[in-house]
Chains A and B, each alone.
Chain A
Amino acid sequence: MGLSGALATSLTGLSVTQKGITTVAGNIANADTVGYTRKTVTQKATVAGGNVIGAHQTEVTRELDALLQRQMRTEAANGTYTSLIADYASRIDEGFGEPGSSTSLDSIYNNFLASVQALSASPSDYSAQVEVIGAAQTLTSQLNALSNNIQSMRAEAESGIADAVDEANDALQQIEQLNTAIMSYAGANTMPVDLLDERDRYVDKLAELMDVRVVSNQNSGISIFTTSGVALFDGTASTLSFDEHSTMTAETAYSTDPAERRVGTIRIGSGASAVDLLSTNLIRSGTIAAYVELRDEILPEVQGQLDEIASSMALALSNQQVDSTAATSGAQTGFDIDLGGLQQGNSVSVAVTDTVSGTTTNYTFIRVDNAAALPLDDTATLDPNDTVVGIDFSGGYAAAAAAMQAALGANYTVTNTAGSTFQFLDDGAANLSDVDSVSATQTITSVTGGTAELPFFVDAGGGASHYYTGSFDPDSQKTGFSARISINSALLSDPSLLVKYSTSPATYSGDTTRVDFLADRLADDGISFQMTSAANGSRTFNGSIGDYLREVVDYHGSQSTLASQRAEGQSIVVSSLEERFYNESGVDIDQELARLTTLQTSYAANARVMSTVKEMLDILMQM
């Protein structure tokens, strides 16, 4: 090989070094570019016939740990999920107010109790009466506000899902384009590393929105699935669609039945083959899953608890126990009870014993006036041991008695003896059955009807009758009641009705019967509540209304703490992965500069070879 060979060789050296410098320059320039991975040039000796005839660049490669990248994507989805949940949990917690401040829900409730206590000492004092009404109004408006707040958070979640779905679609579109571009390099020596970087960034973005699994294909192509296996991108991008519902109330809920669904759902595909991704929980993490869980589980759970508080407050003050009287007919014994005051949602409790087997069954008959509400679910009452039967009263008392008769069976006789009186009898001489007890609960709707009970809290949204009775006609009146609970307008216009429970004879101004009743009911610690929680499912909580209210506040305080602890833990995982990823794939300026120095030296050396060869050629020429 001659001098010209050496010249050519050093020329390739120069060329390779130049490419190296270009790469280093690119690395340094993009040191702070998010998603940029460090590129390295590998060079190789060009060998011909056993002799090295130069150097050439084999390829520009990305410094990338694919395993780390996958892990990071999974954790990123969990990170956005937990931080979003924590964000909302803390907002829910904040909604209950600052501990000890006059605006916290527990203080407001305590103030209401204190005002009733004060009125009990001075029943005729107008300012004490107004104080009770005022404290109750603060309480109801706080419940209204909390409920509206919950629903607006749900609406935010709904629009959050819509945005996330848009972003996901956009990312999928970009991935499709980039993927196509990348695949067109198939067979080429060099990989389009910058396109790969770009595609990764969009996949990362998608991974924040939902949990994805990325599968590499031939020719550097990829496919993307959700971890549940739904194909999001398989050469072509799937389109996600979301039908956003702008109005969000306690009554609007998700249902797998499209006819009953009143909030948006995410579908993939179009037409008849479209799949509802939410129906079988196909998105499990990331922003979208967090929003869906907030909208359909966490926030409705809070709403349910607020409704429970509102409902038990209203019923505690308005519901009256109706007692039965013993009755006989021939050998049959049982009870008479007047159900004239029974409202929709009020119940009749009948305990019967099958004397043959010795088993006692507690029946709870609930009045409905709309057959569409039937049959009622056994969860209509909190008592797990009772048998709930909805009875349609719209056909008159006789028909209602017949319906009860049908529920109890042939060993019992239920008759509408006269007016609104019902008679429950056993089978008499045959002695196969006993009626143990009959009692009913009725909601008092009159403020001055002579009873201490009164419709203190009413349903501002209830159509014709605005009384709150816990009706099931046709939907549960309890749902969303905390948004509608308000003070009976009769009390607002005449606060003295807090004391005057009767007009004839007129209640004396110093009579504390009703006020004491209010205080007793509010302090009654034998009330059962439904405590639904994500962690424990549904359970029965026994205590006073105040106890339950504090339990709810406590529960959301602890939920908020737990959620933020989870989010914090997750964010540590995510940042440590990011740090590792950066260490692996990020640009280290020092390293690049060192490399630059090496390349510079190499360039100088190659140039030196060329100049030496030139000198030698010159010498030759001058000979």
Chain B
Amino acid sequence: MSINTIASPMTILSQRFVSMRKDLLNLQQQLGTGRASDTFGGLGTDRDLALAFRSNRSAAEAYRSTISTLDVRMQVMQTSVTRLQDISLEAKGVLQPSVYQLADGSQTAEQKVARTQLDEMASLLNTQVDGRYLFSGLSTDTEPVVSIDKIIEGDGSRAGFRQVMSERRQADLGATGLGRLTVASGPGDGVTLEEDAAGHPFGFKISGISTTSSAIAVTGPTGGQDTVTAELTSLPTAGEKVRITLDMPDGTSTAIELTATNSATPGAGAYTIGADTATTAANLQAALTTALGKAANTELAAASAYAAADNFFNIDDANPPLRVAGPPYDSATALVAGTSTDTVSWYVGESGAGNARQTATARIDQGQTISYGARANELALRNTFQNLAVVATQTFSSTNGDAIAEYDAMATRLRTNLDDPSGAASPKSVSVDIAAAQRAMAAADDRHTTTTNYMDDLIDGIEGVDTEDLAAKILTVQTRLEATYSVTSMLSQLSLTNYL
């Protein structure tokens, strides 16, 4: 064992050398690594600041990384939403009323275009970034919109939109094709128009009756099962009108106007004034029935298709697709909820109660959160889709004389439905929300970049070294060490031994 409490002169000297050499090595290491110390202890009293700055810097970095991830998503969302907006505008332009030319026997070329647009919309709504579906609400791993083919044609035993639309059409038009209304004679020499049952959502709903003739007494509408009557108290004069207004399932309304004429061959919407009120009433009834049948086949049929679209497409967790209770459908009196086994759900993403934007939120700064979620089934994104689906699904027969009018009614409704002065039902409204989030994010990113740079400076001030300063220190220590070496060497020569 060594005992060396009391040092010899050489050990005392060498201790000094060692300590100076250690200083020199330490300085060299600092110069090499550019860091003041490799331990927290060596940083001195500012180490708590360095720790805090690093934590701040790391947080800012994390936020920045989040922002750059989100930025990609939002840019893609913006691109998709902008394209959806364009499609909406294009669709309005393409489908013109009064341009009806069947291209392949059942649909016009414009309808084919609508189908293509529908495909494109589906793929836009199914946009994903890095495996994340952007229009699927919270279920970011689910492709939100099923294939257009399944949506329209159904999937095995599950009904598609075509079937839902067809059932709804049967229910709306009714067995007699009069839009679930009945026409009867009476009271007296008159005509009674009555809904076939109270309270169901199908067919025409009578909203009013009026006449310009003093010879005709009109009543109604009355009761839950609305009835209107027109009774001829005397013969009307030619040109006098009876007007019945009817509401349709999609919220639009139409009017049937019957004009008294002396002509024996009345045109559409006219009836011949007969010899007496009884004959005239019979003529009126016949004219009403004809007009009603035509309105049902055209306006109501188109309205029914859009109502069916709303039943089929306006769905969420709380509201499943609605089907007509049946069969038989033409006498159905209620809508029932479709189930996952009997009806295709076009949107399979998350659709809870909350606001769609809130389905994707991210913290971009301490206490600052942005939301940028979207669901394909929210009104702004669904509106164009469901309206185009009607156009793309509807078929016409070349032998149907009312087809042109029905096509007209469909095209007009499309334009009206896509016309959105408030903007709430347009993809633009989503775009506006995302843009607001993007602006907040850009501002936060600027802040974080500034913070990061500032923190880097501060950290460098504590953990880094000043090269010039260090070089000067090294020189000083080196000079001191060399001087000590040379003095020591001189002293070691200075011994009496050499002079005796």
Contacts and interface: CB of A to CB of B under 8 A. Distances in A.
A514 interface: no
A204 B6 contact: yes
Interface residues of A, number: 69
B12 A561 contact: no
Given A35-B6, A93-B39, A124-B131, A554 B51 contact: yes
B495 to A, nearest CB: 6
Which of A120, A121, A560, A564 gathers the greatest number of chain B CB atoms within 10 Å?
Answer: A121
A511 B47 CA distance: 39
Contacts of B37: 99
Contacts of B360: 510
Interface string B36-73: 01111111110110111011001101110110011000
B130 A208 contact: no
B39 A118 contact: no
A176 interface: no
Contacts of A89: 41
A210 to B, nearest CB: 14
Nearest to B41: A560
Interface string A91-122: 00110101110001011001101100110111
Given A98-B38, A590-B495, A578 B350 contact: no
A117 B63 contact: yes
Given A509-B140, A550-B51, A553-B40, A208 B7 contact: no
B489 interface: no
Interface in B445-500: 459, 463, 495-497, 500
Which of A118, A122, A589 gathers the greatest number of chain B CB atoms within 10 Å?
Answer: A122
A114 B62 contact: yes
Contacts of B12: 575, 578-579, 582
A479 interface: no
Contacts of A96: 39-40
Contacts of A466: none
A125 interface: yes
What band does the interface of chain B fall in when counting residues whose beta carbon is under 8 Å from A? 35 or more
Contacts of A509: 138-142
A461 interface: no
B157 interface: no
Given A556-B41, A558-B47, A586 B8 contact: yes
Interface in A569-623: 575, 578-579, 581-582, 585-586, 589-590, 593-594, 597
Interface in A58-105: 72, 76, 89-90, 93-94, 96, 98-100, 104
Given A93-B40, A122-B130, A561-B41, A581 B54 contact: no
Contacts of B417: none
B141 A582 contact: no
Given A205-B3, A581-B6, A99 B66 contact: no
A454 interface: no
Contacts of A160: none
Contacts of A559: 41
A554 B54 CA distance: 13
A268 to B, nearest CB: 22
Which of B15, B55, B137 gathers the greatest number of chain A CB atoms within 10 Å?
Answer: B55
Interface in A218-263: none
Contacts of A114: 58-59, 61-62, 65
A551 B3 CA distance: 42
B52 to A, nearest CB: 7
B318 interface: no
Given A205-B5, A550-B51, A510 B40 contact: no
Given A117-B66, A120-B362, A510-B139, A204 B3 contact: yes
B83 interface: no
Nearest to B141: A509
A123 B131 CA distance: 11
A165 interface: no
Contacts of A167: 1
B8 A34 contact: yes
Contacts of B15: 575
B8 A98 contact: no
Which of B35, B65, B141 gathers the greatest number of chain A CB atoms within 10 Å?
Answer: B141
A123 B6 contact: no
Contacts of A561: 41-42, 44
A329 to B, nearest CB: 38
A566 interface: no
Contact of A557 (B10, B41, B59, B131): B41
A207 interface: yes
Interface string A109-151: 0110110011011111100000000000000000000000000
A546 interface: yes
Given A98-B38, A110-B55, A586-B8, A510 B130 contact: no
A509 B139 CA distance: 5
Interface string B360-395: 111100000000010000000000000000000000
A196 B415 CA distance: 118
B69 A118 contact: yes
Given A76-B5, A120-B66, A167-B1, A511 B10 contact: no
A19 interface: no
A559 B51 CA distance: 16
Contacts of B297: none
A590 B496 contact: yes
A512 interface: yes
A582 B6 contact: yes
A564 B363 contact: no
Interface in B1-37: 1, 3-10, 12, 15, 35, 37
B345 interface: no
A502 B483 CA distance: 75
A581 B500 CA distance: 28
A204 B3 CA distance: 8
A118 B139 CA distance: 18
A551 B141 CA distance: 41
A40 B183 CA distance: 148
Which of A551, A557, A579 gathers the greatest number of chain B CB atoms within 10 Å?
Answer: A557
Which of B130, B138, B362 gathers the greatest number of chain A CB atoms within 10 Å?
Answer: B138
Contacts of A124: 131-132, 140-141
A123 B9 CA distance: 70
B39 A582 contact: no
Nearest to A577: B6
Interface in B282-325: none
Contacts of A11: none
A576 to B, nearest CB: 10
Contacts of B39: 90, 93-94, 96, 98-99, 557, 560
B5 A207 contact: yes
Give 8 closest A-B pairs by Cβ, nearest first.
Answer: A560-B41, A557-B40, A508-B138, A510-B140, A110-B58, A114-B62, A204-B5, A509-B141
Interface of B: 1, 3-10, 12, 15, 35, 37-45, 47-48, 50-52, 54-55, 58-59, 61-63, 65-66, 69-70, 130-132, 136-142, 350, 359-363, 373, 459, 463, 495-497, 500
29 contacts: A32-B10, A72-B5, A76-B5, A90-B39, A96-B39, A100-B35, A110-B55, A117-B59, A120-B363, A121-B70, A122-B69, A124-B132, A508-B350, A510-B136, A510-B137, A510-B140, A510-B359, A510-B373, A511-B138, A554-B40, A557-B42, A557-B43, A557-B47, A558-B41, A558-B47, A560-B41, A561-B42, A582-B9, A590-B496
